[in-house]
Amino acid sequence: MINTPKPTKLQAIMTLMLTVGITNHVFIIPALLQIAKRDAWVSVILAVIPFALMIGLILFASSRIGTQPLPDWIRHRLGRIPAFLFQCALSLFFFVTAWFSLFDTVMWMKVTFLPYTPLIATSIILMALCLIGALKGMKAITLTSAILLPLVVILGFYVAIVNVEHKDYHLLFPLFEFGWSPVLRGVLYACSGLFELFFILFLHPYLKAPLNKKQMIILAVILFGLTLGPLTGAIVEFNPFEAAIQRYPAYEEWRIAGFGKYVSQTDFFSIYQWLSGSCIRISFALIIIADMWIKRSSRKRATLLVSVTVLLVPLSCYVFTDVMFQHLMIRYIFPANAYFIAFMTLVVFAAALVRTSKKGRSA
Amino acid sequence: MRAALAILTLILLLTGCWDMKEAQDINFVTALGVDYVNGRYVIYAQLLDFAEIAKQEGKVETGSAKIWIGKGEGKTVTDAMNSVYPASQQMTLWTHVRAIVFSKALLDNRLPEAINGLIRSRDLRYTPWVYGTDKEIPIIFSSISLLNESALNSELLDPEEIFKQYSFMEPLRIIKLMNGVKEPATTTLLPLISYTDKVWKGNGEPVPQVKLAGAYAIAQGSNRGRVDPIMLQGARYVSFKRFDKFPLTLMLDDETAVALSIIHSDPKVRFDARGTPPSVQIQVRVKTYITEAGSADEANAEKIRMLAKKQIEAEIRRSFTAAKAHNIDLFNLEEKLYRNDLARWKQLHSQGKPFISLVDFGEVNVQVEISHASSYKVQNH
């Protein structure tokens, strides 16, 4: 990887489409449906308001940060101790992100395709792949994304289109059957996925220049669409009451996809989509954890990555059952995710403001 | 070194073959029947010989099809499925089930539980066709093979083909039956399957063949009653989402019989829910063509159109009245109100009476378009 150009902005957007997309497109959907049922799609639309605010904050912050690595930048602006806390908090955050993505993925494989294969086997193989990606670095991850994503997108359109025969858009109404409170709670969950746009701040140091306003808005619109697509799909295909009790609504949409008399099942394609997303997401999280502490690739960095990986495998297999996991996610983790990212973005934003008051215009 | 590593990786991949499955080692269930007898679930699994699935060319044995039917029993539907396994010799797979038949007893008592069990167990998908029946399920399962046709081409396992020629009752997949089970105001028509030995004889002997005989109205998970062919007459124009082709026979004044094929129906249901009692106005645009018009000159398009209009209007009115007498919301009016005027729906719903009993039938207006008269010409008027 010597002397190769930096990842393009398009590759950066594609990386985030996989990293953040899998949350918005898959992980968050059962939570949204459970909380807001038929109104879930309104929650997503209402989430545009906090999301727009968020984009504003991120844009402002990134215009000040440029392509500097975040930990360094925070240290410059706020000092050593806040920076240390920032590094700890984000390491923990991305560790949990990787952990839960890994768990959800291996559990999904266990429930759907590999009931006789032990969790540990799928977990080791998946983590080995993610570790290789993380060791190769962000550049490799962005290139891999650019290769994986096109087919993921094509398959997404495929499943949306062949399922048209099962769709009845009347099922989107009536709205607010159970009042406003489920809708507003749903907004929080929609934000939990959308706010992950903030991951872009960690990708910027690898680019020549940060995404500009237009590119950021394009990415935001894509993430928004990624949430709305399978969500409305689940509502109009299954009806909201059925969809709300499904564990993997996005995958159930694959299970009904088929065409003609002889090709009645095509759900195996979803494995490609799901694994592309979670593989890139976990690698991404690993790289950010390493970035928090050790910048250059070195023996130390490799040791850190390997240890995190080794820790994640048993954590994903032996800590919780899926029943506990989904309770935990829907009750605590998704809301906490939204609050945490909002808080961190405010911190970064505040730091960006401090600069102007303290040091004037000096670069 | 690298080559050794690559070979080692390939060898490691071989472990994936530990539990490889071969198609011939699996019992593929093609249809599943669920009955409910004395508080216990009884399931029937239909297996087809592979030779019966593939359409054969060349020399063909005719005669009785090789269809095996397994029976299981248990406290729950999965319990009943499990009870089939011990005597099944090899692994039994349900994901290729193409049709599920529910008995009337099950529909009357335990439909939501049975469906939840089937879907949660992941053994079944949302795509099989579903039916209700008041006949013995094993007879239904063994009455699906005509001559040397593949059993997969039967009406039970592939209802679409017959629907194209004779749109008697809209086929339904389990995914859409869910609306009748879980939506709070929807009535779904579940095709009622039966059999007859009056139509076909094989080597002089009557051969029973499955046929659709009507529907059950499923609303909020329970069976609201049988929809007979007379009620279906009207439902076809108003409630069906699709409509490929269905005959309509008319008698002109001079006893000339005229046959039309109805190929399209576009209903507009206007529901005045604020009135007391709420009333419904139905407008339908029907597209037809003439398939038979006798040999007399009496038959002209205008006359036929007027007659068809009158007859369809009468059919719709009669269907509504007949269904209302049984408290069946045949035209799915409650759903329309629920989706468009939630407040009024809640108000009417809270009265605790069957919704349809509160509704009056207003006007019905049918416009018939005769698009062509097939091979022979017909006078315009």
Q: What is the mean pLDDT of residues B224-248?
A: 92
Residues B170 and B296 in one domain: no
Contacts of A261 in chain B (CB under 8 A): 152, 158
Interchain CB contacts (distance < 8 Å): A and B: 47
Residues B181 and B306 in one domain: no
Residues B180 and B269 in one domain: no
A272: in domain: yes
Task: Between B144 and A293, name the one with better pLDDT.
Answer: A293
Query: Between A168, A238, A261, which is nearest B158 by CB?
Result: A261
pLDDT category at B333 given cuts 50, 70, 90 is: very high
Residues B188 and B216 in one domain: yes
According to the model, what pLDDT value does residue B56 have? 53
List b or e across B56-90, with b for residues whose CB sees 16 or more CB atoms inside 10 angstroms. Answer: eeeeeeeeebebebbebebebbbebbebbeeeeee
For residue B196, give every residue at least 6 positions away whose Cβ sits within 8 Å of its Cβ, in sequence order, or none: B208, B209, B211
The shortest C-alpha distance from B167 to chain A (Å) reads 18
A305: in domain: yes
Q: How far apart are CA A222 and CA A228, in angstroms?
A: 10
pLDDT category at A361 given cuts 50, 70, 90 is: very low
CA distances to B191, B214, B304 from B167, rounded to whole Å, are 12, 12, 22
Residues B31 and B156 in one domain: yes
Is the CB of B173 less than 8 angstroms away from the CB of A166? yes
Per-residue DSSP letters for B159-174?
Answer: THHHHHH--SS---BH
B19: in domain: no
Domain tally, chain B = 2
According to the model, what pLDDT value does residue A358 have? 47
Instruction: Find the helix or strand (DSSP H, E) in which B369 lies.
Output: strand B360-372
Query: Between B19, B152, B182, which is nearest A116 by CB?
Result: B19
**Which CATH number belongs to the domain containing residue A134 in this structure?**
1.20.1740.10
Q: How far apart are CA A222 and CA B291, in angstroms?
A: 53
pLDDT at B190 over 80: yes
Is the CB of B182 less than 8 angstroms away from the CB of A264? no
Cα angle for residues B70, B215, B43 (degrees, 5° grid): 15
B16: in domain: no
A1: in domain: no
Contacts of A323 in chain B (CB under 8 A): none
The shortest C-alpha distance from B338 to chain A (Å) reads 7
Interface pTM, i.e. ipTM: 0.87
Provide the whole-model pTM. Answer: 0.90
- Lowest-pLDDT range, B53-57, B139-143, B187-191? B53-57
Residues B271 and B214 in one domain: no
Is the CB of A256 less than 8 angstroms away from the CB of B182? no
Mutation target among A109, A120, A159, A170 for the B interface, most CBs of B within 10 A? A170
- State which of B227, B261, B296 marks the end of a domain: B227
**Per-residue pLDDT tens over the stretch A74-107:** 998 888 999 999 999 999 999 999 999 999 999 9
B302: in domain: yes
A139: in domain: yes
Residues B167 and B38 in one domain: yes
Nearest CA in chain A to B184: A241
- State which of B173, B199, B227 marks the end of a domain: B227
Q: How far apart are CA B27 and CA A5, in angstroms?
A: 56
| Interaxial angle between packed helices A28-36 and A181-194, expressed in degrees from 0 to 180 and rounded to the nearest 10 | 170
Q: Is B19 on the interface with A (CB under 8 A)?
A: yes
Contacts of A118 in chain B (CB under 8 A): none
- Do A278 and A148 form a contact (C-beta atoms < 8 A)? no
Is the CB of A261 less than 8 angstroms away from the CB of B19? no
Mutation target among A114, A255, A259 for the B interface, most CBs of B within 10 A? A255
Is the CB of A255 less than 8 angstroms away from the CB of B126? yes
According to the model, what pLDDT value does residue A222 have? 95
Domain tally, chain A = 1
CA atoms lying within 13 Å on the CB side of residue B44: 22
A2: in domain: no
B122: in domain: yes
Residues B289 and B353 in one domain: yes
B196 forms bridges with which residues in the sheet? B209
Mutation target among B125, B162, B340 for the A interface, most CBs of A within 10 A? B125
Is the CB of A166 less than 8 angstroms away from the CB of B158? no
Q: Which domain holds residue B341?
A: 240-381
B114: in domain: yes
**Per-residue pLDDT tens over the stretch B96-147:** 899 999 999 999 999 999 999 999 988 889 999 999 999 999 999 988 777 6
Q: Which of residues 317-356 of B touch A (CB under 8 A)?
A: 335, 338-340, 342
Residues B75 and B133 in one domain: yes
Phi, psi of A123 (to 5 degrees): -65, -45
B250: in domain: yes
E-strand spans in B242-325?
246-251, 257-272, 279-292
Nearest CA in chain B to A246: B120
pLDDT at B292 over 60: yes
Residues B100 and B247 in one domain: no
- 3-state class of B25 per DSSP? helix
- Do B307 and B335 form a contact (C-beta atoms < 8 A)? no
Nearest CA in chain A to B19: A116
Is the CB of A264 less than 8 angstroms away from the CB of B127? yes
B13: in domain: no
**Which CATH number belongs to the domain containing residue B363 in this structure?**
3.30.300.210
Q: Which domain holds residue A133?
A: 9-255+264-359
Is the CB of A256 less than 8 angstroms away from the CB of B125? yes
Residues B245 and B349 in one domain: yes
pLDDT category at B212 given cuts 50, 70, 90 is: very high
According to the model, what pLDDT value does residue A362 have? 41
Which residue has 């009904």 as its token pair? Answer: A256
Mutation target among B111, B150, B183, B346 for the A interface, most CBs of A within 10 A? B183
Query: Between A111, A177, A238, which is nearest B175 by CB?
Result: A238
